[in-house]
Chains A and B, each alone.
Chain A
Amino acid sequence: MSADVATVIVNGLVTGCIYGRIGIGFVIIFRATGVVSFAQGAFMVLGALIFGSVVNGGGDLAIGMIAVSAALFIGGGLIYWLVFARLVGSDAFITAVATVGLGTLIEAIALLIWGPSTINIPQQFSFHRHHVVSTLGFSNLEIFTMCLTVGIFIIVLIGLHRTPVGLRMRAVANNARLAAFTGVNVVTTSALAWAIAGLTAGLAGVVYLLGTQPDPGSVYSIGLAALPAILLGGFDSVPGALVGGVLIGLVQAAVAVYIGGAWQDVVAYGVLLAILLVRPQGLFGSAEVARL
């Protein structure tokens, strides 16, 4: 296998996992509450900053991740209860704009507390590449992030389809009013959806921090990057977020290798437009979504 093809495959998968991590929270929120959330970037910033503080304060990787998970889980649920529970029934655009305001507010507060400088943590992973098949190799960090991503997806999917809580979430996602009639506490279930989405976004921020040396502003600006991937997978499909992410990741990697890195992002948006023209519900999305 040529080096270029290996580069495309490896990096396509890695980038795809990034999109998957950002996208899963997005999809969960959209399915459960119908909100298109522009605030995922802000949750990622919080995750990265909290992790940085914990690790610099003496904690290790596991403690950091647990702290982030707990904080963002609570935070996400709280935000739903405070803000979006009161916007139930509003137009989708209104809630989307509300998430813009929310994201701005959270980022401003985070920067006031932590400052805008680079988040520096001691190195957690080596970048040594293990060769798997001929020239196809992944570093420790990449293996960790890919496993984490797949793990998150498996846990969420099992949770959604095999637990009573998941059943309630799917009921609310499908038809909130009907679910309320059958006794499901819609507010609590929706808050749970937001809590999970916050958690996944926080972990996505942590992984981004592990691989680069970002300042909060850089973390915030990738919040919207996963939109083409989510659309490709289907806006209300959880596994679609990962599948779409990997596909877009592969396309972008191919563009970067064979055409030029400057084009990789605009190609993703070109793909988004193409999907909208051809099959708006994406690969796994449901047809009702298409009527939007």
Chain B
Amino acid sequence: MRRRLVCQHRTGAFKTVCIGVVDVKRVLVLVSAIAMTVGLAACGGSSNSGGGGSSGSGGSSGGDITVGLADDLTGPLAVYGQYTQTYVKAVVDYTNAQGGINGHKVKLVTADAAATGQNASSATQQLINSQHVSAIFGFTLSDDCGAVAALATAHKTPLICSSIPPANLSPVQKYIFGATTVEAQEVPATIQFIQDHLKLPSGTKYATIVAGSLGAQLYGQKAAAAADKAGYKQVDKEVVPLTAVNASTQISKLVSTKPQVIIAEMVTPNYLPLIKALRAAGNDAPVIASDASIGYQGMNSLADPNVYQIGLAHFITDLNPTEQGAKMAVEALAMEGQKTLDQINQVLGPQAFPAPYAVMQALKSCGYPCSGDKLADQLEQVKLTLPGLVDGTFGWTSDLHLPYSELSIYGWDPATKQPKLAQSGLQAGPLNG
């Protein structure tokens, strides 16, 4: 079995030394796999970045300011993580195009919290200790935000979470900020909308349908409690597990109870069958979806004037808006190659724009280098008005690290075939709903 051997025969006191033929295929696999694992492991593992004590000191080399994003960039929630990433990147690029932060360029680094073998904590660790970021955006899941709160506080790095657990808001934690609202805050707004705008009388029959996550189930329970208190009558409550292949049974059952108004928080794909089943059964009941459920494209696909969504920022319905806030958002997103209305509104609408923009303003007034301490203070000072985008003032206060004080509810306009503001100025409720 010595085919194709290359041998060097020597006589005398030394034995034959033979080297077998090296199989090219094996060597290619070997070299590439070694390059991947050993090389990357060496690069990553030996990142002795000189201790983690000086994090949050606002920058790496060359006078740049680095901000980070830790979010679910892959996996089932990738839609939301990528959506936040697009907006943060747009704000960063827009800021750089306007001259940066007092002349300093802004750099964005991202870490995937849903990466195989990683989690929100390791992603955050990476950003803080290896990249030395000044602030971190992201955290589609409130649980992730809660899990890294202690870490961020210890390293004095402000977190701006897309979702934030109520426990991290009261008492106020210096370095933890929310970028949107807490679900429970939307309950009073929902009930008020039903009473004021839809003008449904006491005794109206309602149904709730929520996804199987704990947060959604809690929202459903609180909404039901508030609705009962307002004198409405519950005829059905449904839960759709996150692993379900469809929601058709729950939807059918709900439709058969003939509700007159529906309060929902489901995963986006299931709104279409819900609306269609209701309308096909001749039921015109309004459906009110919680924030970040349906989105701009979803509303347009459903094309139903009786579908409402709670919203925080106005959908952009004009490619050339005149109002300053909307104009900035359009310009910023154009820098990311997002030029159509669908793309500008991304999945959920421009509500992810104000928070990173506010952080940029805070960095500007902070000076360079901006320590995490000072940045957290500055974040409480920023008060933005973004006409065309946000009603009222956008900003965090020392009492409340949530920036939106008013909620709006959007319906759909058959005339313009776009979402339309139905009611604004709804007060965000207390943290416990």
Contacts and interface: CB of A to CB of B under 8 A. Distances in A.
B79 interface: yes
A158 interface: no
A104 B117 CA distance: 14
A8 B269 CA distance: 22
Given A221-B243, A252-B249, A118 B297 contact: yes
A59 interface: no
B238 interface: yes
B366 interface: no
B240 to A, nearest CB: 6
B413 to A, nearest CB: 18
Nearest to A209: B269
Contact of A11 (B249, B298, B346): B249
A181 B404 CA distance: 73
Q: Which of A12, A116, A221, A222 has the most CB of B within 10 A?
A: A116
Interface stretch (B52-60, B70-78, B129-137, B386-394): B70-78
Interface in A105-137: 108, 111, 115-118, 120, 123, 126-129
Contact of B256 (A4, A215, A264): A4
Contacts of B77: 217
Contacts of B256: 3-4, 7
B55 to A, nearest CB: 30
Interface string A239-266: 0000000000000110011001110110
Interface residues of B, number: 43
A253 B250 CA distance: 8
A213 interface: yes
A90 to B, nearest CB: 17
Interface string B279-307: 11100000000000001011001000000
B234 to A, nearest CB: 14
B249 A115 contact: no
Interface in A1-19: 3-4, 7-8, 10-12, 14-15, 18-19
A128 B212 CA distance: 28
A270 interface: no
B267 A218 contact: yes
Contacts of A265: 241, 243-244
A14 B248 contact: yes
B245 A18 contact: yes
Contact of B246 (A104, A123, A212, A213): A212
Contact of B239 (A3, A126, A260): A260
Contacts of A12: 249
B243 A120 contact: no
B100 interface: no
Nearest to B116: A104
Contacts of B253: 4, 7, 256-257
A211 interface: yes
Nearest to B241: A265
A139 interface: yes
A212 B269 contact: yes
A18 B246 CA distance: 9
B7 interface: no
Contacts of A70: none
Contacts of A11: 248-249, 252
Interface in B214-254: 217, 238-241, 243-246, 248-250, 252-253
Contacts, number: 125
A234 B297 CA distance: 42
A227 to B, nearest CB: 11
Given A139-B280, A212-B270, A213-B272, A15 B249 contact: yes
A214 interface: yes
Interface string A178-220: 0000000000000000000000000000001001111101101
Given A15-B245, A211-B273, A261-B241, A217 B75 contact: yes
Interface in B112-140: 116
Contacts of A214: 268-269
Given A7-B249, A8-B249, A18-B246, A108 B74 contact: yes
B396 interface: no
B162 to A, nearest CB: 15
A227 B256 CA distance: 30
A225 interface: yes
A260 B212 CA distance: 11
A15 B248 contact: yes
B79 A217 contact: yes
A256 to B, nearest CB: 4
B82 interface: yes
B308 interface: no
B271 interface: yes
Contacts of A264: 241, 244, 249
A261 B245 contact: no
Q: Which of A111, A123, A127 has the most CB of B within 10 A?
A: A127
B268 A19 contact: no
A213 B268 contact: yes
B212 A127 contact: no
A261 B249 contact: yes
B347 to A, nearest CB: 6
B276 interface: yes
B214 to A, nearest CB: 11
Interface of A: 3-4, 7-8, 10-12, 14-15, 18-19, 22, 104, 108, 111, 115-118, 120, 123, 126-129, 139, 208, 211-215, 217-218, 220-222, 225, 252-253, 256-257, 260-262, 264-265
Interface of B: 74-79, 82-83, 116, 212, 217, 238-241, 243-246, 248-250, 252-253, 256, 267-273, 276-277, 279-281, 295, 297-298, 301, 346-347
Given A18-B246, A213-B269, A217-B77, 5 more contacts: A4-B256, A8-B249, A11-B248, A213-B301, A261-B238
24 contacts: A4-B256, A11-B248, A15-B246, A18-B246, A117-B83, A118-B79, A118-B268, A120-B297, A127-B280, A139-B280, A208-B245, A211-B248, A212-B246, A212-B272, A212-B273, A213-B269, A213-B272, A213-B298, A225-B244, A252-B249, A261-B239, A262-B239, A264-B249, A265-B244
